[in-house]
Structure formats: C-alpha cells, structure tokens
Amino acid sequence: MYSWREEFWGRNNLFDSDEIVKEVLNKINLAKGFYVADLGSGTGRFTIPLAKEIGENGKVFAVDISKESLTILKENADREKLNNIEIVYGDISKKIPLDDNSIDVAFMANVFHDILYEGNESIVLSEIKRILKNNGRLIILEFKKIRGPPGPPIFMRISHDELINILNKNGFSAKYLGEIGKYHYLIEARI
C-alpha cells in the first residue's frame, strides 16, 4: 500500500545521523543543569543526546502524544542509564503538561511543520512562552523547503524566513542559526 509518509520520510533516516545531532548540539549551547523540553520527542533521537549534554543536574522532559514512542524512549534511556529524562505523555497542540516558567530551552525537531499544517501554531507557541523561564529559548530544527525525501511533502514544509515571521508575529524574537546538514535548518527564538 502506498504511503506518502514512508516515501517522503525515507526508509534509511540518513538525515538523523549522529553528525546532525552533534551539529545541532554544537549550535545551541546548552549549559549543565539546564531544564529542556523536547516537544514531540518521539523515540528520543535528540532526547538522549540532550540529556547527556545537560548532565545529571539538568533534566529533559520528553513530551510526545505517542505512548509507544515514549515506551521505546524510556527503554533506551534505561539502557543508557540516564536518570535525568522525564517521560511526559501529552498533546502539545492542546496544552504542554509542564509548569509555568520551568524550562530553559524548548526544543522541537521536525515537528513544527505538522503543528503549522494542523493550524495549531498560536496555541503551541503560547504554551511554549508559558513554560519558558524569563531568559529561555525556543530551538526549532526543521526541514528545508525543498522537494523530495527525507521529510514531509513540499506543501507541508516551511522556509526559515516564513518560520521566523510566524515566531515574530507570536511574540518571539527569532533568528536563523544556519543550515544543518543537507536537509535542515535551525532557528532560535526568545521571548
């Protein structure tokens, strides 16, 4: 059976290589002891490296709507003996189940295009502003607006200029941090 998701996301996930993760971590400058929300964490492709980066005094809240993905993430975190990951089941398009002013960095990898496509960006961005500490940051990794796999179809993608405009209209001050690999770009936004 044909599946656009399988075709456009690709079967080998080369875009999720360890080099991409390292490149992202190098650009976002996380400090030891930070509290990070990995929004739409999935099985933890970024959660586990984020947890290692912030150290045992920090914490990563892995938030996802898929209980199956969170179960896999928990197993992977246990295998790595990481005690600074908290698994949080929730639908970020409705409410992020985290406390006000509790997060240093909200992180989203390959998630925002879905939020935008569903028309939930204002709700999600308002919730992110609520959970961020006063000097907190939102970091978004997204697919470039180019055709072909990996990633979603072109009609679901958003350029970095479009994303910066949306963030600025929703009360953030956003800037482009550059390309990540062949297929992604990185944005940083502050309140």
DSSP characters for 120-154? -HHHHHHHHHHHEEEEEEEEEEEE-S-SSSSSS-G
* Domain housing 95: 4-190
Q: What is the CATH number of the domain that holds 58?
A: 3.40.50.150
Question: What's the pTM?
Answer: 0.90
Q: Which residues contact 82 (CB under 8 A, 6 or more apart)?
A: 48, 51, 52
Residue for token digits 């939930």?
A: 120
**Model confidence at 7, in pLDDT bands (50, 70, 90)?**
very low
- pLDDT of 6 reads 43
Our count of domains for the chain comes to 1
Cβ 163 vs Cβ 145: under 8 Å: no
pLDDT exceeds 50 at position 1: no
